[in-house]
Amino acid sequence: MSYFGVFLILFWVGIFKFTQTEAELIRPLVENNPLTSWLYNALPLQTVSNLFGIIEILTALLLLVGLKCEKVRLVGGVFVITTFTITISFLFTTPGIWKTVEGILITDFFILKDLVILGFGGIIMTGPKQITGEKLPL
């Protein structure tokens, strides 16, 4: 179920990246991150968002095919770990993302889900037994 949940999130969010609304929403995240800010110097706003969408959809499809093919699963796991490491870094590079509400430090919680998915990426990399019940040959 977790595997399908990660697939669904990546696929759905990836499709949304092709909208102008999402292109504008991710702009402050992307433009303030040293790993990604250069993209806006090379590509238009919508193209950057589309690129992220393509990566997310590709990652989702790699996970789906990875249910049957171990090598594809490992590539998908690398994509998951890379993608969500970058998105978690937005928590530390985007001005104003942390706020205090009634004395409690909070952030835009949509990024915090990425911590769970990043951990799931580690599980994907450890072997199919946790995902499909298969055993790796020794």
DSSP class of 56: H
Residue 131 pLDDT grade (very low, low, confident, very high; cuts 50, 70, 90): low
In terms of Cα–Cα distance, which of 88, 80, 85, 62 is closest to 125? 80
What local confidence, expressed as pLDDT, does residue 138 receive? 40
Which amino acid would we find at residue 115? L
Q: Using CA of residue 32, residue 112, residue 7, residue 136, what is the dihedral sign?
A: positive
Q: Are 18 and 49 in contact (CB under 8 A)?
A: yes
Question: How many angstroms separate the CA atoms of 88 and 4, rounded?
Answer: 21
Domain ranges across the chain: 2-132
Q: Which stretches of the chain are DSSP H helices?
A: 2-16, 20-31, 39-42, 45-66, 70-93, 113-126, 129-132
What local confidence, expressed as pLDDT, does residue 127 receive? 66
- pLDDT tens digits along 75-85: 999 999 999 99
Q: Are 106 and 98 in contact (CB under 8 A)?
A: yes
Residue 137 pLDDT grade (very low, low, confident, very high; cuts 50, 70, 90): very low
pLDDT > 90: percent of the chain: 58
What local confidence, expressed as pLDDT, does residue 1 receive? 64
In terms of Cα–Cα distance, which of 81, 87, 100, 114 is closest to 25? 87
Q: Is 90 exceeded by the pLDDT of residue 27?
A: yes
Mean pLDDT in residue range 92-99 = 90
Cα–chain center distance at 63: 13
Neighbours of 11 (CB within 10 A): 19
